[in-house]
Amino acid sequence: MGSISLKAVEKWFGPVQVIKGIDLDIQDGELIIFVGPSGCGKSTLLRMIAGLEETSRGQILLDGNDVTHKVPSERELSMVFQSYALYPHLSVEENVGFALNTAGAPKAEIDEKVGDAARILKLDAYMDRRPKDLSGGQRQRVAIGRAIVRKPKGFLFDEPLSNLDASLRVDMRFEIARLHKTLETTMVYVTHDQVEAMTLADRIVVLKDGLIMQVGTPRELYETPDNVFVAQFIGSPKMNLMPCDTDAGYTSFPLCNAGAVKLGIRPEHIGITKVGSGHCNGVVQISEYLGADFFHYVDCGPLGLLTVRTPGAFEDIEGKKVGLRFETDNLHFFGSNEMALK
């Protein structure tokens, strides 16, 4: 079992409050990701769960037991840091089994658990190597292996892939997803990379200024954001936002619902058509070719600069005047408080 509950959790550094009353239930076996801009409190919240930061107010429960004031070693959680923090003079095998060896576990138990971790992480061929002889991805797998052997109730990952190059990050995302399916253990993961969040998470927690903006599956956050912040933070390119003003440049009909202040639409839900035959017109400032996709940045005057996503086979229309047609079933409306209008 590895359920984690946060009850009205707060964190203060002197007079500054960085976590502002968080309530969250993490289910046993769930992979949940904290995501948000720098300074939103995601790493602080993770460190509070780990016991590396004191909780100023509220409770942290593990399987229903209050661990708020317990030291990290008493929480049955393993943490994987951004820095691999491997011992350079020890082999992979010795690094993976270090915690067990320090705790005085029998050699047979150490060999069994280290062997299991090596098999799960495909480290068998590297057990005699030193960290300097490994790639970044292999070093991170060793760090994860060191966490696995403790058989924790949950894993805590603090931006574990941020030191890797783009190709290795893709490979390690696959490794972590596979590891989660294999171990079926609770994982709490912090990242600033929304691609990691979207591809790995069972649920995502979007944080801003120490508060939860929304909790949901990747699909829920992408398709039904609760507010403007989530709408623009989740998704790349971000959601287009336009003023809800009938004088703002719509040529066909007012698209906004009553009470709406802003209209949002994803780049892939805008079609390019002839001038005058869509909902608005604009001039394509830049077209970015990415192979499978084109991103067109269209200056629509009072509506602002809109991003349109088309297949890579689409023609390069940079510099041309075009019409834009919105998929009206995929519009999002936001009120004056920036909350979504359902």
Q: What is the distance between the alpha carbons of residues 43 and 157, in angstroms, rounded to a whole number?
A: 9
Structural element, H or E, at residue 65: strand 65-66
Give the whole-angstrom CA distance, residue 115 versus residue 126.
Answer: 12
- Residue 165 banded pLDDT, cuts 50, 70, 90: confident
**Cβ pair 208, 184 in contact under 8 A:** no
Report the C-alpha gap between 111 and 302 in whole angstroms. Answer: 67
Asked if 137 contacts 172 with a C-beta cutoff of 8 angstroms, the reply is yes
| Residues 194-240 pLDDT 10s | 889 999 999 999 999 999 999 999 999 999 999 999 999 999 999 99
Domains and CATH numbers, the chain: 4-228 (3.40.50.300), 237-334 (2.40.50.140)
Q: DSSP readout, 157-173?
A: EESTTTTS-HHHHHHHH
Average pLDDT, the chain: 91
Side-by-side strand order, sheet with 65-66: 16-26, 4-13, 57-62, 65-66
pLDDT digits (tens, 9 = 90+) for 42-60: 999 999 999 999 999 999 9
Buried b or exposed e, range 51-87, using 16+ CB within 10 angstroms: bebebeebebebeeeebbeeebeebbbbbbebebebe
pTM of the model: 0.90
Kindly state the tokens that stand for 224: 């039904």
Model confidence at 33: pLDDT above 80: yes
HEC states along 206-252?
EEECCEEEEEECHHHHHHCCCEHHHHHHCCCCCCEEEECCCCCCCCC
pLDDT at site 260: 87
Q: Is 105 left (phi over 0), alpha (psi -120 to 50) or beta?
A: beta
Q: Quick check: 278 and 323 in contact, CB under 8 A?
A: yes
| pLDDT tens string 301-337 | 888 999 999 999 898 899 999 999 999 999 999 999 9
